[in-house]
């Protein structure tokens, strides 16, 4: 009698625990999905160079980059604040993975146009992909000096950059990136360097609060000739993010803001104090609805 | 007697299972009205089960599936405010009262239970409308959620952009198993 009663009670007591059980059952019934990593970096620029981030579809980003003169240029030059080089640029997301951009840097009055294509995204869950990879290609033309020097032709002003940006978001606070790069310059001083420059960049960002991150970037040039007068570029920065803007405050030995300039033609020695204070400000606008 | 008891026991299992209705069409939206910017998002990738015998109802809403007009808004929502990498789902587990599956047409009902958002759980009570029509059950509700209740922090700078309370609308259609 007792046993039967017990069984009957058991049958109806199932309903007491059913809410949490039902929730567990619900979650288990879900098919495994691919979880894509998002926001590996806060914006499209790390310090001087690019990140793997692509704009959303229909998103237009206005980017304003500014570099002052060197801090060790003395108080008469207001520690570099008197001098300034600027790049104004726009980048537009054609799709969520393909972006196009162009800009103009006052260093050598260089105009550049580029495409970025993110073809692999870091993911976990149903499919594991350890890194996000974006291809970046850029063409740049130096429009200064206005008059072509003797012995030069117009196409000497051109250069082309190709980069493979490989990044991994290790945790919500830490992302690291590798940037194998090749830059072809149509005209160089052949006694000091080759037309093709191969470099490997490394960089990363460390989130300190929800809106502030520390960044760093270093480009190591690999195929140098003896007598090359330029230096590898090094930069460190702080990213501050507000509603629609990302504000990046940087310290770098590079004054140029086009790939050809900061990777291949940096003259400053970071550890001798040839440090330029600068900032990148980006502002995003949604031109076409994301959905 | 024992045989009858065992029979009832086994029957109760299948009896319970037969009443579990799974949502086949889901819609969750939220809306925040502030002086500078209206923020709204929609999510059609939620899942839910309603047991019309025990009146238990559970929802699981994947935060990353909320769609916004602005890509940057979606990024901030996930990265900064809801921290969806840490808390990928918002869930509700509760009991429905005021609904009778024998009655057809619209019925005003209430769901009472545990709502978990951003890792924080609260007991809430939500009024809604349940409609039973030809084997399909529709659950609709409109209710307000206070962001601070779930530790969703709005920075001082953006208080004009994000309201302290958001209006949530749900529309789930369940089919009989």
Report pLDDT for A198: 96
Residue scoring higher pLDDT (A24 or A131): A131
Question: Residue A218 domain-assigned?
Answer: yes
Percent of chain A with pLDDT over 70: 93
Measure the CA–CA gap between B13 and A28, rounded to whole angstroms. Answer: 19
A128 SS3 class = coil
Partner-chain residue, chosen from B68, B80, B88, that has the shortest CB–CB distance to A210: B80
How much is the pLDDT for A51? Answer: 96
The residue-averaged pLDDT of B69-85 equals 87
Is A5 inside a domain boundary? no
The reply to whether B155 touches chain A by the CB within 8 Å rule is yes
CA diameter of chain B: 71
What average pLDDT is seen over chain A? 90
Chain B residues touching A20 at Cβ < 8 A: 93
pLDDT at residue B17 is higher than 80: no
Report chain B's mean pLDDT, rounded to a whole number: 86
**B155-167: pLDDT as tens digits:** 766 666 677 889 9
Say yes or no for a CB contact (<8 Å) between B12 and A93.
no
Count of the separate structural domains present in chain A: 1
Please tell me the predicted confidence (pLDDT) of residue A38.
87
Whole-number pLDDT of residue B37? 79
Residues A44-82 pLDDT 10s? 999 999 999 998 899 999 999 999 999 998 999 999 999
Quick check: is A58 in a domain? yes
Task: Mention the CATH class of domain B18-175.
Answer: mainly beta
Residue A32 lies in a domain: no
CATH number of the domain at A42, please.
Answer: 2.40.160.40
Residue pLDDT, tens place only, B53-69: 889 999 999 999 999 98
pLDDT tens for each residue of A136-151: 999 999 998 899 888 8
At residue B113, the pLDDT reads 94
Nearest-by-Cβ selection for B49 from A25, A35, A96: A25
Per-residue pLDDT tens digits for A106-117: 999 999 999 999
| A36, closest residue in chain B (CA to CA) | B64
Average the pLDDT over B11-38 and give the result. Answer: 78
Q: Is the pLDDT of residue A16 over 90?
A: no
- Give backbone dihedrals phi and psi of B140, rounded to 5 degrees, phi first: -130, 140
Instruction: List, for residues B106-149, the tens digit of each pLDDT value.
Output: 899 999 999 999 999 999 999 999 998 877 899 999 999 998 89
- Does the pLDDT value for residue A163 go beyond 50? yes
Chain A interface residues facing chain B, Cβ-Cβ under 8 Å? 1, 3-5, 7-8, 10-12, 14-15, 18-20, 22-23, 25-27, 29-30, 35, 38-39, 55-59, 93, 96, 172, 210-211, 242-244, 284, 286, 289-291
Predicted pLDDT of residue A13: 52
Chain A interface test: which of B58, B92, B154 (most A C-beta within 10 Å): B58
Percent of chain B whose predicted confidence (pLDDT) is above 70: 86
Any idea where the domains of chain B sit in the sequence? Answer: 18-175
CA distance B45 to chain A (A): 11
Task: Tell whether A4 is covered by a domain.
Answer: no
Give residue B105's pLDDT: 84
Q: Average pLDDT of B12-19?
A: 56
User: Who among B2, B47, B95 is closest to A19 (CB)?
Assistant: B95
How far is Cα of residue B162 from the mean position of the Cα atoms in its chain?
A: 22
DSSP state at residue A76: G
Closest CA to A252 of A212, A211, A219, A207: A219
Q: Is residue A2 part of a domain?
A: no
In a domain? residue A21: no
Residue-level pLDDT at A255: 92
Contact A116, A92 (CB under 8 A): no
DSSP character string of B14-36: HHHHHTEEEEEEEEEEEEEE-SS
Mean pLDDT computed over A184-196: 92
Residue B13 has pLDDT above 50, yes or no: yes
Q: Is it true that the peptide bond before B53 is cis, omega within 30 degrees of 0?
A: no
Nearest-CA distance A149 → chain B (Å): 46
The residues in B 46-85 lying below 8 A from A, measured between CB atoms, are 47-49, 51, 54, 56, 58, 60, 64, 67-72, 74-76, 78-80, 83, 85
The predicted structure's pLDDT at residue B16: 47
Domain that holds residue A276: 37-286
Which residues of chain B are within 8 Å of residue A93 when distances are taken between CB atoms? 71
Q: Is the pLDDT of residue B4 over 80?
A: no
Q: What is the pLDDT of residue A27?
A: 85
């Amino acid at each position: 009698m007792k046993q039967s009663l017990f069984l009957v009670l058991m049958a109806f007591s199932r309903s007491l625990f059913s809410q949490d059980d039902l929730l567990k059952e619900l979650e288990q019934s879900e098919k495994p999905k691919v979880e894509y990593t998002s926001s590996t970096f806060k914006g499209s620029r790390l310090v001087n160079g690019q990140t793997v981030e692509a704009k959303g579809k229909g998103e237009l980003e206005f980017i304003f980059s500014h570099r002052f003169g060197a801090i060790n240029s003395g108080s008469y030059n207001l520690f570099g604040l008197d001098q300034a080089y600027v790049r104004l640029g726009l980048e537009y997301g054609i799709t969520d993975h393909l972006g196009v951009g162009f800009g103009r840097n006052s260093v050598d009055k260089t105009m550049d146009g580029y495409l970025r294509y993110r073809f692999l995204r870091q993911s976990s869950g149903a499919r594991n992909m350890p890194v996000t990879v974006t291809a970046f290609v850029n063409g740049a033309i130096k429009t200064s000096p206005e008059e072509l020097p003797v012995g030069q032709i117009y196409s000497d002003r051109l250069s082309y950059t190709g980069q493979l940006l490989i990044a991994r978001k290790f945790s919500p606070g830490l992302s690291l990136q590798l940037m194998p790069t090749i830059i072809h310059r149509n005209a160089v001083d052949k006694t000091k360097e080759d037309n093709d420059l191969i470099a490997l960049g490394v960089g990363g960002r460390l989130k300190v609060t929800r809106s502030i991150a520390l960044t760093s970037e270093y480009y190591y040039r690999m195929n140098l000739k003896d007598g090359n007068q330029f230096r590898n570029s090094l930069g460190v920065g702080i990213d501050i993010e507000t509603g629609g803007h990302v504000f990046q405050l940087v310290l770098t030995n590079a004054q140029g803001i086009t790939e050809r300039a900061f990777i291949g033609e940096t003259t400053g020695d970071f550890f001798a104090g040839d440090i330029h204070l600068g900032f990148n400000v980006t502002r995003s606008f949604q031109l076409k609805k994301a959905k | 007697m024992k045989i009858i008891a065992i029979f009832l026991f086994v029957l109760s299992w299948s009896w319970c299972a037969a009443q579990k209705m799974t949502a086949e069409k889901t819609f969750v939206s939220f809306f925040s009205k502030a002086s500078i910017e209206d923020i709204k998002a929609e999510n059609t990738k939620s899942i839910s089960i309603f047991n019309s015998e025990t009146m238990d109802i559970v929802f699981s809403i994947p935060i990353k599936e909320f769609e916004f007009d602005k890509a940057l808004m979606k990024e901030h929502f996930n990265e900064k405010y809801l921290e969806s990498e840490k808390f990928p789902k918002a869930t509700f587990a509760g009991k429905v009262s005021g609904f009778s599956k024998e009655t057809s047409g619209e019925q005003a009902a209430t769901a009472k239970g545990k709502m978990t958002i951003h890792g924080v759980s609260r007991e809430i009570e939500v009024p809604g409308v349940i409609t039973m029509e030809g084997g399909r059950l529709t659950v609709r509700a409109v209710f307000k959620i206070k962001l601070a209740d779930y530790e969703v922090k709005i920075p001082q700078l953006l208080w004009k952009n994000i309201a302290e309370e958001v209006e949530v609308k749900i529309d789930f259609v369940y089919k009989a198993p």
